[in-house]
Chain A
């Protein structure tokens, strides 16, 4: 993003584009990345509610929400989703943290 001149900015240093942080990619902070094993997923939405970075992609169009995967632009690879994912306890992890190849 090129830096704007003073005259191009709104007064008082306010930000008028609400939620424009989506344009800031934090995905490159990652060392590990959650790998999604859809076959084990029970679509419980725990990963979605616990993610600090709104990085769980969910399809809410149907009757039951569907976990679709990870939004890599923002996922910081913390592993909370994988830790909280219930099927892991039964040895059928739907999310597994793996070292990311870059």
Chain B
């Protein structure tokens, strides 16, 4: 696949403008980028959440391909049903002509970290284990943004959210993030990867690999949220870029169990640089909270170390 913007720009935009995402929403951009690669022969399922809401407010839909939403916690199960129907109808020779003619029908489910890390993890785990040929995409903005910025198990340590706020006694989220990507790796599925919308080439490559791996695949995509994280709306892509440069969000993929880190920063930037730009971490920089910052850095370093070891181990 010729992966240049010169080529990609010829692809049809399947997520139209006119959706109701906030100005500067990197989530809408993630979906748009996914669809540029996936193409029109795609059944997309959305978990209840920002992206489902803003793209399908009746009587409008921003989707030019088929789309289904049913509930918050079940998008993986819903799309596994669609994928199974496809296989069955294909076997019985009863597919609609356009689907029968398609070289490949894609099945993609997406959810935010709420719909994926938390309420939807059971359905996700089940669908991955069953081996459906589908891609699950998590747009991870590290909180339940749709319902008003409540903490999730993806919220980073220390972040202020509306249910774990920074106050005079408590200082934001007290736990570290859950490592969902690693949980998905443990499902022994053919393809698992992390990326961001800033890294458009990486993203497009990973979407194509996920769609063509022949089985279930999982993509965890960092989605900087201007409203929930508290940064100016033009900064979303830069925040995504810096998340990679600080090792907060390494770009890596796991193909048939083999790790590959796609980008190793020559010089790791301190996590504080990244946190400083976001209002959700403002209190962390107050005198007396130095240990929080230390912990945040330690955690990032430790996770990166682990990732390096996993890469070494699986490439021996």
Give the CA-CA distance A44 to B5 in the complex, in Å: 8
Q: Looking at the complex, which one of A19, A46, A49 makes contact with B62 (CB distance below 8 Å)?
A: A19
In the assembled complex, which residues on chain B have CB atoms less than 8 Å from the CB atom of A55? 17
A93 within 8 A of B: no
The answer on a CB contact under 8 Å between A22 and B17 is: yes
Give the CA-CA distance A90 to B184 in the complex, in Å: 43
Q: Looking at the complex, which one of A23, A52, A73 makes contact with B24 (CB distance below 8 Å)?
A: A52
Q: Looking at the complex, which one of B6, B8, B13, B23 makes contact with A54 (CB distance below 8 Å)?
A: B13
B88 to chain A, nearest CB (A): 22
In the assembled complex, which residues on chain A have CB atoms less than 8 Å from the CB atom of B33? 49
The answer on a CB contact under 8 Å between A78 and B234 is: yes
In the assembled complex, which residues on chain B have CB atoms less than 8 Å from the CB atom of A77? 23
A64 within 8 A of B: yes
The answer on a CB contact under 8 Å between A52 and B18 is: no
In the assembled complex, which residues on chain A have CB atoms less than 8 Å from the CB atom of B135? none
Number of A residues whose C-beta is below 8 Å from B? 43
Interface residues of B in 1-60 (CB under 8 A from A): 5-6, 8-10, 13-29, 32-33, 55-56, 58-60
Per-residue B-contact encoding for A38-53, CB less than 8 Å = 1, 0 else: 0000001110111111
The answer on a CB contact under 8 Å between B18 and A24 is: yes
Q: Looking at the complex, which one of B6, B8, B9, B28 makes contact with A52 (CB distance below 8 Å)?
A: B28
Q: Looking at the complex, which one of A71, A78, A82 makes contact with B17 (CB distance below 8 Å)?
A: A71
B3 to chain A, nearest CB (A): 11
A82 to chain B, nearest CB (A): 7
- When C-beta atoms are compared, the residue in chain B nearest to A56 turns out to be B9
- When C-beta atoms are compared, the residue in chain A nearest to B19 turns out to be A21
Give the CA-CA distance A34 to B124 in the complex, in Å: 40
> Contact residues of A with B, CB < 8 Å?
1, 4, 13, 15, 17-26, 29-30, 44-46, 48-55, 58, 60, 64-65, 71, 73-74, 76-80, 82-84, 97
15 residue pairs from A and B, CB less than 8 Å apart: A15-B59, A19-B14, A19-B16, A19-B64, A21-B19, A21-B60, A25-B18, A49-B9, A50-B197, A50-B237, A53-B21, A54-B13, A54-B15, A79-B234, A83-B238
